Homo-oligomer: A and B are copies of this chain.
Amino acid sequence: MAPHKLCMIPGPIEFHEDVLTAMSTPATSHVDPLFVPIFGESIEMVRDVVQSKVAQPFITSGSGTLGWDMMVNLLEAGDEVLVLTTGYFGDHFAECLEVYGAKITFLRAEPGSRPTEQAIADALAKTKFKMVTVTHVDTSTGVLSDIKAVAAQVKAASPETLVVVDGVCSVGSEEIRFDDWKLDIVISGSQKGLGVPPGLSIVVASPYAIQVFKDRKTPVPSYYSNWAKWLPIMIAYEGRKPAYFATPAVQLIYALHTSLKLILSQPLETRFKKHAAVAADFRQTVRNLGLKTVAQDEAAAANGMTAVWLPEGVEVSQLVPALAGKGVQIAGGILQGLATKYFRIGHMGISVMDDERQHIQKVKDSLVASLTELGYKN
C-alpha cells in the first residue's frame, strides 16, 4: 500500500489490503455469472454480521444517509416517531423522518449522556409510536446506546412499534443480535465497522418491518429509496439470479464481500471483545492524560470510537494538524456550538483487530506527543 496518513477518524477507517485490491476488480458486468454469487453472498454475510437468520438486507449505491431515507418505506403522514438522540446524527435522522411525514417526539440528553429508562417509559406511556429510533453509536459524541434494553422496553410497552437502529457507526464494531433483541431496522454504511470504502448504503429489515411496508395504505413517496424496487433485486441476487433496477456498485460490492469474509473468518464475539478491550484501554490513556471523554460513563462509551474534550489552551485547529504532521488523521468535533471543544478518534476494524499494524499505539503516541508540543501539561 502507498504511504499515507493513518486514517483514524470515526470512518472512513483503514482498509485491509485485500479490500483495496477488490476495489480495483477489472470491469465486470453487474449480471456476469461471476458477480452474481458475490452479491448474493454479500447479502447473506450482512445478515450474519447482525446475527440474524431472517432479516432482509438491502445493499444499495449511496451513503449511510441513504439508509435514513429508506425509512420512507415505513412512514405515512402523521405517524408518531420517538427519537432518542445522543448527538448530531440523532437530530439529523429526525430531520429526515420529518420530510416523510413523521411527527417527532425528541428525547434528548445532555452531550455525553443518553435518555434515561424513565424518560423513555414516560414517552411510551403518553403516545402510541409507529417507530422509535435510536442511534447505536452517535459519531458526534461516541455515546453508545443500550439498544438491547431500549428494544426490550419498547416492545414490552408496544409490540407493534418499530425499533429502528442507526448503526452507521456500530455495525461491525459493536455487538448486534438482530433477532434476539427484536430489532426491526439496522441502518449502516460501508466505511466504518464494515471496513469498506464509502459508497454503499446497508439496511437490514425484520420480516415485521417488511410486512409494515407491504401493508401501508399510501404509496411510498420516493422512487430511488422505494423497497418495491429494491426488494426483488435483493431476493434475486440472493437466489443467485441477476436482476435490474439500478446498476449496482460492482467494485464496492467485491470489496464488501472481501471485508465480510475477513470479518466472519473468526467468531464475532472475539471481534467485539477485542474492540471493547482496545476502547477501554484508549479511554484509560485519555484519563491518564488528565482528559475526559465526551461519553460520561464507561457503559455508555462506544467501542469503535472515542470523543475527547480538549484541555484548556489547546485548539482543535492546532491538534488535528499536529497529528497529521505525525502521519495520523483524526477528526474535530461536529456538535453544534461545541465543535471546537473536542476531538474524535476512530478505533475500528483492522486497526483494532491486527495488533501488528501498531495503529492504536501510533495514534496514542502521536496524541501524547502533539499535546506536549502544544504546551499541554497534565
Q: Footprint of B on A, CB under 8 Å?
A: 1-2, 4-7, 9, 11-15, 20-21, 23-32, 61-66, 68-69, 95-96, 99-100, 189, 191, 197-199, 201, 219, 221-226, 244-252, 329, 331, 334
Contacts and interface: CB of A to CB of B under 8 A. Distances in A.
B24 A21 contact: yes
Contact of A199 (B4, B199, B245, B331): B199
A32 B6 CA distance: 11
B247 A191 contact: yes
Contacts of A225: 224
Contacts of A21: 24
Among A26, A27, A219, A244, max chain B CB count under 10 A is at: A27
Contact of A62 (B30, B32, B61): B61
Contacts of A95: 223
Nearest to A220: B99
Contacts of A24: 20-21, 23-24
Which label, helix, strand, loop or mixed, suits the secondary structure of the A interface?
Answer: loop
Identical subunits present = 2
A131 to B, nearest CB: 15
Contact of A197 (B9, B20, B189, B250): B250
A363 to B, nearest CB: 13
Contacts of A62: 61-62, 66, 224, 246
A222 B9 CA distance: 29
A251 B2 CA distance: 14
Nearest to A63: B246
B1 A13 contact: no
B248 A63 contact: yes
Nearest to A6: B27
Given A61-B201, A63-B249, A199-B199, 14 more contacts: A4-B27, A12-B27, A20-B26, A29-B331, A99-B222, A99-B226, A197-B249, A197-B250, A198-B248, A199-B249, A199-B251, A199-B252, A221-B221, A224-B224
Contacts of A252: 197, 199, 249, 252
- Which of A13, A61, A96, A221 is most buried by chain B, counting CB atoms within 10 A of its CB? A61
6 contacts: A2-B25, A5-B28, A23-B23, A62-B66, A99-B219, A198-B249
B246 A65 contact: yes
A2 B63 CA distance: 29
Contacts of A199: 61, 199, 249, 251-252
A28 B11 contact: no
A32 B5 contact: yes
A166 to B, nearest CB: 13
Contact of A247 (B23, B29, B198): B198
